[in-house]
Amino acid sequence: MFSFEPWVNLPLIWAILIATAVFLYVWLDGFDLGVGILFPFAPSDQCRDRMMNSIAPFWDGNETWLVLGGGGLFAAFPLAYAVLMPALYVPVILMLLGLIFRGVAFEFRFKAHGHSRRIWDYSFHFGSLVAAFMQGMILGGFIQGITVDGRSFAGGPLDWLSEFSVMTGIALVFGYCLLGTTWLVMKTDEITQAWARKTASYVLIFVAFFMVMVTITMPFLDEEVRELWFGMPSFFYLLPIPLVAIGLFALLWRDLHHGREYRPFVLSLGIFFTAYLGFGITLWPWMVPYEITFTQAAAAPESQSLLLVGALILLPIILAYTAYSYYLFRGKTSHESTY
Amino acid sequence: MLHHHHVEKKSDIYLKFRRQSFLNTGIIGKTELTCLCKIIMFDLDPVLLARIQFAFTISFHIIFPAFTIGLASWLAVVEWRWLRTGQVVYQQLYKFWIKIFAVTFGMGVVSGVVMSYQFGTNWSVFSDQVGNIIGPLLGYEVLTAFFLEATFLGIMLFGWDRVSRRMHFTSTVVVAIGTLISAFWILSANSWMQTPQGFTIGADDLLYPTNWMAIIFNPSFPYRLAHMVTAAYLTTAFVIGGIGAYYLWRQRYQACARIMLGMALLLAVFLTPLQIIIGDMHGMNTFEHQPVKVAAIEGIWDTQQGAPLTLFALPNTQTESNDYAIAIPKLASLILTHELNGEIKGLKEWPQDERPPVGTVFWSFRIMVGIGFLMLLTAVIGAILYFRKTLFTSRRFHLWCMAMTPSGFVAVLAGWFVTEVGRQPYVAYGIIRTAEAVSPVVDESIALSLLAFVLVYLFIFGAGTYYILHLIAKGPDILQPDQAEETYGAHGVETPPLAASLTTESGEK
């Protein structure tokens, strides 16, 4: 039985890999969920067709990162998977149901006509909205901490529900809208783009508001977190993160009002990255806050080693053909039915 | 156990409320009402609820892969024929079936994402105990198959005008291979749960891998993989054949329909006999490793030499015997041991809490095998008609093929019921009992989410079925031969940017 345990810190590598997979998911599915949330507010049906076409070739691949997040967690940190899923049972199930409604809308919408088409417009919208909101609630519930007894979840079915998790839920909805609108600025033109650009500016204000709110609230949830972000000297070490975020907001605001097409998407991605980094630093080293660390949750070294071989070989290949697919469908999208 | 107290209280209030509203109508008496409510809501045990939910979500899910595995391969064949011969009819077929493929695949994806979380939400204790073993197998499925399928499906559907014909064909082949790789890993994981090996149990009660090759290539895996992939191909063949027969019967799209029915029957002629042989080998493998499952399949209660093959019976768990049995002497022994007087262990060899639910296993097996032989019959008749040159004109046979269209799905589901219910009361055979594997989630959460899954799946997949039937009714688009080359890319061609923006967007204001 081979194992890389003597040479490398396997749990650490896997913690980074899972965190990366989750971030890729948030980024990639984030923009297509955002497009879904904004769907009914678009100026016309043709705009909606165009919005849908801009993400149709990618959504399936994007959502696969969520499967990798779940499957990877199961493989690399089974204990965390076994505690978190029952703890977050309700929002996870609701998220999955939301994803069903929005996933099928891609196919059904172009097959339906007249009134039934409206059904799938709203199925796409509400599915995306529920999925995004629940993901934000999952994040909030996760940050608040999980009640654990021995090796299993020991709390109640609605532990995750609080003012804080509702706030993170709303925050993520706006965050995804920002990714979605800047994606549309990049992938469309004419009135769709003009509308997306205007919407992005409004959304940006809300994103800034909620990021400040979450940043202020989090230290009050936990003594250690407060010490980390406001204690000396760590305050100065961590200061660059909020500063970079503020810089990104300012640049994005400028870009949106100066007709830039590509950079807004990259900048909103940067904003997501700073927020994600902030969460990551706050929650380190917990895999189940504040009960189980990533080392405690780790699968057997043999199991982590086996999958690591696959991940090291296959992840670069996956990223390569994903990039190829984005390259292939580059440029502005049309509104025509595609196959 | 705090929440149990809580549940009792809540149920009392609920009962009181229901009682009043119902009693006002005067339809139901007090006692019946109490019983009814308890049965419906509160006395369902969480293990059963979790099992029903998992069975429901996975049964729904398996319908889609069972069809897309075969359809992806078939699309690859059709596109290859089109590239080689340049005949419009293959193009028509491809363009027609890819629409159905897309709808089916979409439903497979969304119901599949659910599955990757159901292990944790419903079976967290199992996930914790066997995560070291099952986790990496599922991880490999995502890494080797899911991304491949998802990304290249995008190119397959939307890449017409952006890639060469060769690259498009490659994408189709890659998607087809992806479906097979996916089947490889998931069936390896499932087979390990049936015939676990290559592990030790640590002091902490967790399972630790000792030999990956033994885990991945566990004893039942090759048989289950071959059986399922063949089943998927047959399922697709009977759908394509059935729809081809429908067009022939309605005398529409004759050229396409002949290829559909012809190719489907060609596959069925080779694969049905092969599937019966594989099934037999699979059964013998189960007989070796999970004899109690075979005892339930055959409805054999007492260990006996020269056991009969029971064709019909109602297995009775109270009397531990079969009611109304119709049996062929010695045949079960002959099939399983290849000896007339071979010994088959009966269910009574195992204590009652080690036996699977006999009736479900017994009957699911008969449904599966029955359909298998109906498929063989169809293939044989089809072959005879072909050599008599009446295959494409025999209307009665077309009606028969139409009736056989859903047969593969029923057989696949029945087969999975045999193997999964037959593994009970264990989730990982001989290691972890299903009752011990369940998540610490309150009954209401499971009951309500089960209700939500049932409603959503019926609505969504009902709509999906409706759209697929609509596509079938509409039939393939008619393409002119001289359009062939051009239309390869014509769908979804972006009109020149300037013209497009002027003509399409100015009008909508």
A positions 58-87 inside 8 Å of B (CB):
58, 60-61, 63-64, 66-68, 70-72, 74-76, 78-79, 81-86
Distances in whole angstroms, Cα of residue B448 to Cα of each of A85, A108, A269, A325, B46: 16, 27, 37, 40, 12
Task: List the beta strands (DSSP E) in B296-338.
Answer: 304-305, 309-316, 321-328
Give the per-residue pLDDT at B16. Answer: 43
Q: For tokens 């529920």, name the residue.
A: A130
Question: SS3 for B404?
Answer: coil
Q: Which two tokens stand for residue A81?
A: 């998977």
Is the Cβ of B462 closer than 8 Å to some Cβ of chain A? no
Nearest-CB residue to A78 (from B127, B154, B155): B127
Q: Which two tokens stand for residue A237?
A: 């070490």
Is A184 within 8 Å of A35 (Cβ atoms)?
Answer: yes
B positions 86-105 inside 8 Å of A (CB):
95, 98-99, 102-103
Is the Cβ of B107 closer than 8 Å to some Cβ of chain A? yes
Distances in whole angstroms, Cα of residue B43 to Cα of each of B4, B440, B444, B447: 11, 17, 11, 11
Residues 6 or more apart in contact with residue B253 via CB below 8 angstroms: B92, B247, B475, B476
Tens digits of residue pLDDT in B220-262: 999 999 999 999 999 999 999 999 999 999 988 989 999 999 9
* Residue from B58, B107, B114, B143 to probe the interface with A (highest A Cβ count within 10 Å): B143
- Residue A265 host element (H or E): helix A263-283
Q: Per residue, what are the HEC states of B425-468?
A: CEEECCCEEHHHHCCCCCHHHHHHHHHHHHHHHHHHHHHHHHHH
Task: List the beta strands (DSSP E) in B233-320.
Answer: 304-305, 309-316
Is the Cβ of A104 closer than 8 Å to some Cβ of chain B? yes
Nearest-CB residue to A93 (from B121, B138, B210): B121
Give the per-residue pLDDT at B385. Answer: 94
Distance to chain A for B139, nearest Cα, Å: 5
Separation CA B107–CA B87 (nearest Å): 31
> Quick check: A71 and B139 CB within 8 A?
yes
Give the per-residue pLDDT at B496. Answer: 36
Question: pLDDT (tens digit, 0 to 9) for every residue of chain A, 339 residues total?
Answer: 788 888 889 999 999 999 999 999 999 999 999 999 999 999 998 899 999 999 999 999 999 999 899 899 999 999 999 999 999 999 999 999 999 999 999 888 888 877 888 899 999 999 999 999 999 999 999 998 899 998 889 988 899 999 999 999 999 999 999 999 999 999 998 899 999 999 999 999 999 999 999 988 888 877 888 888 888 888 888 899 999 999 999 999 999 998 889 999 999 999 999 999 999 998 888 999 989 999 999 999 999 999 999 999 999 999 999 999 999 998 888 776 655
Residues of chain B neighbouring A109 (CB-CB closer than 8 A): none
Separation CA B239–CA B258 (nearest Å): 14
Distances in whole angstroms, Cα of residue B413 to Cα of each of B106, B114, B155, B432: 20, 18, 31, 24
> Quick check: B508 and A191 CB within 8 A?
yes
Exposure string of B127-138, with b = 16+ CB inside 10 Å and e = fewer, is bbbbbbbbbbbb
- Residue A38 host element (H or E): helix A10-38
Distances in whole angstroms, Cα of residue A183 to Cα of each of A36, A332, B448: 12, 11, 37
Separation CA A238–CA A222 (nearest Å): 17
Q: DSSP secondary-structure letter at A338?
A: -
Give the Cβ contact number of residue A47 at 10 Å. Answer: 23
Tens digits of residue pLDDT in B346-356: 999 999 999 99
* Residue from B121, B172, B474 to probe the interface with A (highest A Cβ count within 10 Å): B121
> Quick check: A58 and B112 CB within 8 A?
no
Is B289 within 8 Å of B423 (Cβ atoms)?
Answer: no
* Residue from B158, B181, B444 to probe the interface with A (highest A Cβ count within 10 Å): B158
Give the per-residue pLDDT at B23. Answer: 41
B positions 156-215 inside 8 Å of A (CB):
157-160, 162-163, 206, 208-212
Residues in chain B where the model's pLDDT stays below 50: 1-30, 33-34, 36-37, 482-509
| Gyration radius of chain B over CA positions | 26
Separation CA A280–CA B263 (nearest Å): 55
> Quick check: B132 and A78 CB within 8 A?
yes
One-letter amino acid of B495: T
Q: How many helices (H) and strands (E) does chain B have?
A: 19, 8
Tens digits of residue pLDDT in A181-235: 999 999 998 899 999 999 999 999 999 999 999 988 888 877 888 888 888 888 8
Is A177 within 8 Å of A322 (Cβ atoms)?
Answer: no
Give the per-residue pLDDT at A229. Answer: 85
Structural domain spans, chain B: 10-41, 227-440
A positions 125-164 inside 8 Å of B (CB):
151-154, 156-157
- Residue B343 host element (H or E): strand B343-344
Give the per-residue pLDDT at B497. Answer: 37
Is B265 within 8 Å of B236 (Cβ atoms)?
Answer: no
Residues 6 or more apart in contact with residue B362 via CB below 8 angstroms: B296, B297, B298, B299, B310, B313, B315
* Residue from A94, A97, A115 to probe the interface with B (highest B Cβ count within 10 Å): A97
Give the Cβ contact number of residue B86 at 10 Å. Answer: 12
